[in-house]
Amino acid sequence: MVKTTIVGAGSVIFSQKIIMDVLGFEELKNCKFTLMDINLKKLENSFSLTKRAIEDNNLSAKLEKTNNLDNALDGADFVVLMIDTPAVEAIKYDNLIPYKYGVNQVIGDTLGPGGVFKALRLIPQVVDICKRAEKLCPNALIINYVNPMAMVTWAIGEATKMKYVGICHGVKGTVRRLATFLEIPEEEIDYWIAGINHMAWVLKFEHQGKDLYPLIWKKLKETKIEDIRKAKKEFKGGFSPWYEMFDEKYRIEMMKVTGYFMTETSGHLSEYLPYFRKRKDIIKKFDGDEDWKGSSMYYYRTIAGIRKKYDKDVERMVRSKHPIKIAEKSIEYAPDIIYASVTNKYFRFNGNVRNTGLITNVQQNACVEVPCFVDRLGVHPCYVGDLPEICAALNRTNINVQELGVKAALNKDMKFAYHAILMDPLTSAVLSPDEIKKMVNEMFKAEKKWLKGYKSKM
């Protein structure tokens, strides 16, 4: 019986989505799932809902729960990581301290001051999980969803012996966004995407052998505001409509510069670059309001409410007596990776892996996001070669931060953390080195209860 362990299973909807997607495959209907979380209430909710979903759909899968990591890992074939601690409590410091200094992140969980400090908190925990997995399930595949994706996945490869891959739905979401914009069925699109997580490049985007970039440019140029207004009135609901492409102002701007579309949504993307979030007038030009709905201040103000609403929705679902139907298959890669590994039926996806000559003009041993195949022998990353020079150059600016952030977390070294943030494109566009040092010191003091054992002064 194939055993899949989900660590951080208190993320109820996400856990259930992955499990039900796995059970949608005929060959995997007898799988075993172990849900593990240190939050007992969320763990119980996740177990209760998933158990009902299995029973309501007459599935024969085995489900168990535990708050003991060793029990969860013992004998696992796949370990899905989706932890996020301490969640909302730390967002206040990750976002508002940099905001006070003028660094206006959007989410702050991937790069920049917030992303680096999130890595400092989570990398030691993820490495500890993988070290225990080395003893309890050494042949398991670690499937990492934990952000900051590049830094966490890089650290797994640097500090452990486990087989691993990091996955994100950014590539799939980008393909869907472009296909929807062009009104071409997604399954008919051929694409080749590579770079780093949240900054991968749509190098090829074709339909029946025809390059679709000219059509993208044509539709962007020729669509009139009246067409968008009409489409908004006629929209009946469902997946994001085609006209939302026109909200991707940052991505479109960078496509003008580089010639290639990027895989992260516009607001998030803007915080990985030095060009946009350094002045109020530039932010206003692109968003109309310096405190728009993607800013770090807005994110902090709303995330707690969003999480509370989510928890209430989950509680309501737990109390409900309505049967749980299997939903349409999600866009997550993990179920297909598990299926391909078990059945030896190839599956192609974009995964985050160590750069062992895969992309030849960015730093080697970095974490890159490239096309991969998976079968029962494991994950097989594809050779990409050189990226277009401007694309590689922009990737390298982010990899500089990631490399130093990983060193900071693995060595528990404050100086590396300072240097990582010193290299951050947005932060360095806004602050002097001394101002960055003061900000980093303030963040270390505010988050000291989660950052034990850090050495060396800056």
Cα–Cα distance for residue pair 458/441, rounded to 1 Å: 8
What amino acid is encoded at 403 in this protein?
Answer: E
Report angle CA 161, 351, 19 to the nearest 5 degrees. Answer: 85
Q: Work out whether strand 367-375 and strand 347-354 pair parallel, antiparallel, or are unpaired.
A: antiparallel
Q: By C-alpha distance, which of 328, 343, 331, 392 is closest to 364?
A: 392
Secondary structure tally for the chain: helices H, strands E: 18, 12
Region at 143 (left for phi over 0; alpha for psi -120 to 50; beta for the rest): beta
Task: Give long-range contacts, CB 8 A cutoff, 24+ apart: 432-437.
Answer: 435/101
Cβ of 316: how many Cβ atoms within 10 Å?
A: 9
Question: What secondary structure letter does DSSP report for 388?
Answer: P
- Number of residues that this document lists for the chain: 458
The catalytic residue among 169, 198, 322, 419 is 169
- Measured CA distances, 336 to 10, 58, 163, 245, 331 (Å): 22, 22, 17, 28, 10
Assess whether 322 carries a catalytic annotation.
Answer: no
Task: State the Rg of the chain over Cα.
Answer: 22
> Catalytic amino acids?
169
